[in-house]
Chain A
Amino acid sequence: MDMSPALFQSTLYASLALCVLGLAWRASAWFHIRIGPDARAVRPARRVAAVFRGAASTLSSRRVFRVLGALFLDVLLLRRLFATGKLRWLGHLLVVAGFTLLLLMHALAAIVTVKLFQGYQPTLAPYLFLRNLFGAMVLIGVAMLLFGRRRQRTALPQARRPLAAAFVLLLGFVLVSGFLLEAHKIASPRAFYRMTEQFIGSIDPEKLEPLRALWGSEFGVAFDDLPLPLDPRLVEAGRELHRDACGFCHAKPASAFVSYPIAGLLAPVTVLMDAARADAWLLYLHVFACFLGLASLPFTRFFHAVASPVSLLVAAAALEREVPAPPFSAEARASQRALALDACVRCGICDARCSVAPIARYLGNPGLLPSHKLLATGALASGRLLRSGRENDALLAADGAFLCTDCGRCTSRCPVGLDLEDLWEAGRGDLAAAGLPTPAQWVQARSALEWAESLEPGSGQHALSDLDAASASLSADRSKYSRCVQCQTCTNVCPVVAHSLDSDHGVDLTPQKVMNLLRLGLGDLALGSRMVWDCATCYQCQENCPEGIRVTDIMCELRSLAVQRLGAVRSRREPS
């Protein structure tokens, strides 16, 4: 039973068209999404031109060998994934290799396999075995990847993967329906009679009895009317008939090591399935699932199958630029950042070894983790992060971006070779430009007095409240600074005060004045002061204080208090 060619072709071409249009749409984003202040000035046309220039210069230099090496090692053999985890690498390699080989040998058999191997028939050895092997590779690989993902679960949520689960299900469906279809075709008496009619010209059970005996006993056909036990002479007679009529195209299906046992399991219901035309609907399901996968590829996280290899090759071309070649241009960098948004698989390898992951867990802010930061960077670039209703997301993203220590572990472990350091720096630039800079910057955008007034409008009281005691064991405890005699030693030894030569970049208060504000119960007035935020934490004041007051520790504590208290005031307003 074959599909109507018109239906097959029209669906195929519609899916292909959707896929190609989708790919073009996704790839176009690589040239117009702007991440980083330096990318803002670059027009898309120049970014497209930069790609051609870069490709031309790469192809005409020694770098082409590096790119070829990356194609082989990084793209085909997934070298970077190997370095981070062997199980995951094996799982992914099985999926990629199994799927690619199935695509070439099975799905594109009429174009590829027929040309390469003379006399190719899908029901001959070794193709029966190989098709099962490739399918089993994909299924085992997917299972390994899912298992690895389960083990990796941490307290914080993982980054969103749009439609990834649906796509994995679809892939599994394609594989399972394929195996079922093959199993049913092996077991189906209906298929047997169709073939014998076509190639022997008879469906007369009497005449076909020897062949039925052979195919029933050795080829897995689930006849329900064979006279048992079978006469060995009948089987031998069938073998002769088989050699003349069927042997050119049919090997024993036992080498289909997945489908053949399934055929055995299906035997009791095969007649029912035949009556229900299972061969037809299994074929439709299998083929349409493939077409659905093709059409939806650009729109799910599995677009990484295209974007990640591109990213790896671009990274190889951009690596260790030869001197005196011009530095990687702003145009190319802008495109590389946009590409990174698509190339990221959200595998979470970066999150697992992120230096500030313990801080993220304690603060309950997943915005610190690389995969979430990448999403936020993209959302900011597209303007989504600044929409009303997402103010809190934006603030969490900013905290995440500025708590990053640039340790580079995410970049060094990224299996698709993203230059995440560059992306983070660009993202911080965008955040600052959007009115979401570091605490030191947003606090200093207003004067200490303005902040203090906004805390308690109309009230003259600016004492740090009792509520702060839990998070401010020093500044909320009067005994920690009440001994201050205002001798100004702290101010005299402060290098920040000493270098405050102009009013634009000088401090407003001095350390001794900050201590005095605390003493007077006016701690709120110090929270937004330049002195607190410009403290270099060199500990000169604390070391030199004749009264043993922990001046620097108090300064640090006032900052964290300011982030909490002034941050609450700030989030009640639109980001400026």
Chain B
Amino acid sequence: MKFALFLGCKIPSRLPAYEASTRAVLGHLGVTLVDLEFDCCGYPARNYSHDAFVVAAARNLALAERAGLDVLTPCKCCFGTLRHAIRFLREDAELRSRVGEALSEDGLTWSGKTQVEHLLPVLARTIGVDALAAAVRAPRTGLRVAAQYGCHALRPANVTGFDNPMAPTIFETLIRATGAIAVDWPRRLDCCGDPLHEANGPLSERMTRAKIADALESGAEVMCTACPHCHLRFDTVQANNADPAIRTLLYTQLLGLALGLPAKSLGL
């Protein structure tokens, strides 16, 4: 099993533990990750120019296609953005030709072969929950974990194909595979607030705190994430106030611990 690893912008600079734990866990499970010269997924350009956003995304898709690889990304924002770009390219022939022209300046083309997948479905479906459970050496028995789904992977389901968008189970299933308890909490599918922190800080913070309070009230000890934006959002908001805090843990760290990998290799 081999993928081009798309880390995006946030992970290498702000959350290197996610990169370390992703490489450690996938390496342990026999997945080969290839590093290509990817750039920004295109998300920030979406507010400025629809075309520029799709061109930026398509350039990454074309790089993966040239290498003959599908893309795996641990970031839900990058995942959603790349998937959206594919949809826009498929449905709009004029856009496709404008983008194709821009790509050809770099000697690139994209014919539509590249698949983009998020880390969690690869773990749950490509590798398989049973295989994960079988590889667990140090089950996290009794640990009460809240799954933070993350909007851009979950919705819209016809673009992301992540899970049932109204009643997803993939994250809880993955948490249970580590031996931990997946806590049911009402706000599990809500937005973490991160995309709004620049446009409307107070409202964004309200959204984040509502989620943290809800997870704590539901008896969770750990907020489990699989997206650098959600993860950093919880950490940032919790660092700035005295409210009760919940421990945040990346899914790759939770799984890595259960697989018996050294904590240091997981960035812990």
Contact = CB atoms under 8 A, between A and B. Distances in A.
A483 interface: no
Given A405-B40, A536-B207, A358 B196 contact: no
A472 interface: yes
B48 A399 contact: yes
Given A473-B92, A537-B151, A560-B50, A362 B9 contact: no
Contacts of A57: none
Contacts of A563: 47-49
A407 B49 contact: no
A362 B56 contact: yes
A542 interface: yes
Contacts of B200: 440, 496, 505, 530, 534
A365 to B, nearest CB: 9
Given A358-B59, A537-B151, A543-B165, A403 B191 contact: no
Q: How big is chain A's contact interface, by range?
A: 35 or more
Contact of B196 (A353, A496, A542): A496
A155 B203 contact: no
A492 interface: no
Contact of B191 (A471, A495, A543): A495
A45 interface: no
B16 to A, nearest CB: 10
A496 B210 CA distance: 12
B202 interface: yes
A72 to B, nearest CB: 27
Contacts of A376: none
A363 B46 CA distance: 12
Contact of A499 (B84, B102, B155, B207): B207
Contacts of A31: none
B199 interface: yes
Nearest to B80: A539
B121 interface: no
A381 to B, nearest CB: 23
A536 B193 contact: yes
B156 interface: yes
A406 interface: yes
Interface string B185-227: 0000011010110111011101100100000000000000000
Contact of B44 (A405, A472, A495): A405
Interface string B117-158: 000000000000000000000000000000000011011110
A485 to B, nearest CB: 19
A542 B151 CA distance: 12
A539 B84 CA distance: 12
Interface in A462-481: 470-473
A84 interface: no
A131 to B, nearest CB: 43
Nearest to A444: B199
A29 interface: no
A438 B201 CA distance: 13
A533 B199 CA distance: 7
Interface in A332-386: 353-359, 361-363
B12 interface: yes
Given A358-B56, A359-B55, A560 B48 contact: yes
B241 interface: no
B119 to A, nearest CB: 19
Contact of A406 (B9, B190, B203): B9
B95 A473 contact: yes
Interface of A: 155, 353-359, 361-363, 399, 403, 405-409, 421, 438-441, 444, 470-473, 495-496, 499-501, 504-506, 530, 533-534, 536-540, 542-543, 550, 552-553, 556-557, 559-560, 563-564
| Pairs of residues from A and B, 9 with the lowest C-beta to C-beta distance, nearest first | A408-B13, A407-B9, A539-B155, A440-B199, A405-B9, A538-B191, A538-B151, A355-B40, A543-B155
Given A362-B55, A403-B44, A505-B200, 13 more contacts: A355-B40, A358-B106, A408-B14, A441-B199, A444-B199, A501-B206, A505-B202, A536-B196, A536-B207, A537-B151, A538-B190, A538-B195, A563-B47
14 contacts: A358-B56, A359-B42, A359-B52, A359-B55, A406-B10, A407-B40, A440-B198, A495-B191, A499-B210, A500-B203, A538-B195, A542-B156, A550-B156, A560-B50
